[in-house]
Amino acid sequence: MQLQKSTAWSLIIGPLGVMILLMAFGFGTGLFSTEEQPEHAQKMMDNYDLARVVFSLIGMSMLLLIFGWISFSRQIDPDDAAMNYGRLLLLPGAILIVAGMGLWLGLGTEVEVGINVTLDHVSNGISTLGDVFLDVGILIIAIVAIRKNTITTLVKVLLALVALGQILDLVAVVGGIGVDTLDFLGWIIFTVATVGIGIQSLRAKES
């Protein structure tokens, strides 16, 4: 299967950008090692300037990722009704996640930690809703694409992994089951499979 180069590179750079930047920031600042909300908020305040830069880059990576999946779905079938519903969910999903990251920054470094704790809770709620939108939208696109005869067996396997990743994330987010473990596992599976689709398309163009 050959995708446009812009689509393939978006599917590669987008998810890798989100994963690398978020993990580097989370582990580098110790944010991921904290469980208490006040300590979590304090670390955000201590790294406020860095967070503004990193979250801006994550937001741009997220938009690349969404562009990649919308473009992918259009190249598979621009008129399929289910695909249209899937695409419809992606943009508001991305907007909600980016908005959640904006709130995650809080009000800066000159306010009480308690205010940032409250904003952190609000941010998590908004981001969770965005996650659901993205999970369902990409899941629909992946399932519909698997049924098409225009893609190779390898891409179908990668799309099945994408669908698995989204299902695990939905179970974690909506069902509240194994939230940390399933959410992280689903995220890794989705990222690897999405990047794989982009790489396979570039290799197909070169051959």
What pLDDT, on a 0 to 100 scale, did the predictor assign at position 203? 83
SS3 147: coil
- Separation CA 108–CA 125 (nearest Å): 20
- Separation CA 14–CA 131 (nearest Å): 16
pLDDT per position as a tens digit, 17-76? 999 999 999 888 887 777 677 777 777 778 888 988 998 999 999 999 999 999 999 998
Could you tell me which residues come within 8 angstroms of residue 158 by beta carbon, excluding any fewer than 6 positions away? 193, 194, 196, 197, 200
Cα–Cα nearest to 133, from 183, 185, 99, 93: 93
Q: What angle do CA 183, 189, 193 make, to 5 degrees?
A: 145
Q: pLDDT under 70 in the chain at which residues?
A: 1-2, 35, 106-108, 110-111, 177-179, 205-207
Task: Tokens for 122, please give them.
Answer: 């609000």
What pLDDT, on a 0 to 100 scale, did the predictor assign at position 178? 61
- Separation CA 18–CA 185 (nearest Å): 15
What pLDDT, on a 0 to 100 scale, did the predictor assign at position 87? 93
CA distances from 141 to 93, 119, 126 (A): 14, 33, 23
